[in-house]
Amino acid sequence: MERHSLTKGKDEADSGGMGKKYYIAGNWKMHKTRAEAAALAKELVQALKDGKHKYLIAPSFTLLETAAPLVKGTNIRLGAQNCAPEEQGAHTGEVSVLQLKELGVQTIILGHSERRHNYKEDDALINKKVHLALKHGFEVILCVGELLEEREAGKAEAVCERQTTEGLKGVAATELDRIVIAYEPVWAIGTGKTATPEDADSIHACIRKVFGKLYGAAAAEKLIIQYGGSVKADNVVALMAKENIDGALVGGAALKAETFVPIAKF
């Protein structure tokens, strides 16, 4: 599928694609104390205030109230790493979309591979969360991606097609402006391994094709697909130069300003 042919030529790719606005998100996972979170948020607000792209940080639930006032009114969105599938009730240990909204959260990451594989969240549960988040006005970053054994068995595209289709089941076309997909090959998360830019772009193209089948070519063209999987300053330019890669969901490198800012301002 030809994309960005009018806006993303060779010169632009060589210069880091600055004519295109990318979406760079930092997933802090289960790291940071409140003091550490405040310090990092302040550093990022200062460092990225003149950044050309779209930015997000997703701290742990306990850090959201600390980070919220620091990023409010800046060009950094506040994200949560998950949410409960219900609005409220007897759900010990869960956090509701209503509670997240009250804190100023704008985006919720759903279906992250660690939720799928470590905590056994299936497509149906993730889909339920997607609908609940959209109902309450959140942007959703829906994560999809294959395990190493699935890739080696030639099933990478099939896995991503299933997770995309099932994750978006019942989502209306009117809600698509709040949907972002993040492709994260599970074998490349926190391992230091990275899909080659060509491998990543191939799966991104597959996801875009699936999205096009569901919602049409125009919607597929507009869809932002982030890449997540050991993104670093030394590989971000090559990844972002690819036609179907529209941003990054960054894990380990998001935990320090000196490693995240070069990615965010590539």
CATH code (residue 149)? 3.20.20.70
| Count of domains observed in the chain | 1
Residue 4 corresponds to which tokens in the numbers above?
Answer: 């960005």
On whether the CB atoms of residues 159 and 116 are closer than 8 A, the answer is: no
Backbone angles phi, psi at 90, to 5 degrees: -85, 80
Determine, yes or no, domain membership for 19. no
Determine, yes or no, domain membership for 218. yes
Task: Give the pLDDT confidence of 72-131 residue by residue, as tens digits.
Answer: 999 999 999 999 999 999 999 999 999 999 999 999 999 999 999 999 999 999 999 999
- Centroid of chain to Cα 90: 29
Confidence check: pLDDT of 8 > 50: no
Percentage, residues of the chain above pLDDT 70? 93
How confident is the model at residue 1, as a pLDDT? 44
3-state SS, residue 11: helix
How confident is the model at residue 6, as a pLDDT? 29
Confidence check: pLDDT of 2 > 60: no
How confident is the model at residue 187, as a pLDDT? 85
pTM: 0.93
Q: What is the largest CA-CA distance in the chain?
A: 56
The parent domain of residue 260 ranges over: 33-85+93-264
Residues with a catalytic annotation lie at: 112, 184
Determine, yes or no, domain membership for 18. no
pLDDT band (50, 70, 90) for residue 14: very low
